[in-house]
Amino acid sequence: MWGLLCELYLSFVKLGFPKDDLLRLKYIIKEYYGGFELSCNDYDQLFELMTHDKKNDTKEINFTLLADVGDIHINQTATQDEIFECLDFFREG
């Protein structure tokens, strides 16, 4: 579930996905699934695991992002810094 929310955060940053929808979904996910359990010390290992995802066809990490509900953009990439920023967003209250 956190991976899907990560893609929504990147969608917000890169494609302008509505922030209100992102925040509403973050709240719902925290209510049903609990808090985000990773610390900053886990980021490098998580990033390394992400490099092995089946969607990646180069050395970049590919995501499927949304500009809005139903407006899908495949093969969107994100830098390591953007991904770490996303993880920080989950750790915020």
**CA angle, 16 as apex, 18 and 48 as ends, to 5°?**
105
Percent above pLDDT 70 for the chain? 97
Domains of the chain and CATH, by start: 2-91 (1.20.1090.10)
pLDDT at residue 93 in the model: 60
What pairs with residue 71 in β-bridges? 68
What is the pTM assigned to this prediction?
Answer: 0.85
pLDDT tens column, 19-50: 999 999 999 988 998 877 778 888 899 888 88
pLDDT at residue 92 in the model: 72
Confidence of residue 65 (pLDDT cuts 50, 70, 90): very high
Kindly list the distances between the CA atom of residue 2 and the CA atoms of 6, 52, 58, 60, 61, in Å, as whole numbers in the listed order: 6, 17, 24, 20, 16
DSSP label at residue 14:
H
